[in-house]
Chains A and B, each alone.
Chain A
């Protein structure tokens, strides 16, 4: 079982739609959580951190459910420019060290 699992997609949605991604993680001792965005063949860039209380940044809302060990990302009013791969990232202890563990990513394609 992967330590961080995501549905690879692609999620094909029309402009203006609301779309949500989930990500599950296996290590209950995980410390912190992030969503990164990666455009095709480019470097990942931090989109937002994820807090237990939930947090919002414009059209983006992230939530964490520690009991069920999943995090989510909600994008409202999708734009064409939101088309990218969204990486779920968990900071966890792994083989005696703390490290960022990446999911394989969920691909979003927003269509006109």
Chain B
């Protein structure tokens, strides 16, 4: 079954404690991206990756890092989380950038206290 898997689904953490949200896809997609979703603002792209070792900033990259060492994995790293990073995060993958049928992971609800 084609899927994008994120972990964890829910996370409560404290300010400044580094965390990683993992994302894995089994469709051999080249393009992967991370979004955050906040009420009234829609989904905003944090970072994206066109292929292995190729990553770039999206619209709201501050406070986040990513890596793409393997095609299937695209972890999101918060080196020093802050309360304004409390949000619902989605990982997505697609064949190419902006392609129809982007698949989304189930989401990670992060709360930073």
Contacts and interface: CB of A to CB of B under 8 A. Distances in A.
Interface of B: 35, 40-45, 48, 56, 58-59, 88, 90, 97-98, 100-102, 104-107, 109
B40 A46 contact: no
Nearest to A5: B42
Contacts of B106: 42-43
A31 interface: yes
A72 interface: no
Contact of B42 (A43, A45, A103): A103
Nearest to B97: A98
B4 to A, nearest CB: 8
Interface of A: 4, 8, 31-32, 34, 41-46, 49, 87, 91, 94, 97-100, 102-105
14 contacts: A8-B40, A32-B100, A41-B107, A43-B104, A43-B106, A44-B43, A46-B100, A91-B98, A98-B97, A98-B98, A99-B48, A99-B58, A102-B35, A102-B42
Query: A-B pairs with the 9 shortest C-beta distances?
Result: A43-B104, A91-B98, A104-B42, A102-B43, A102-B42, A98-B98, A49-B100, A46-B101, A44-B104
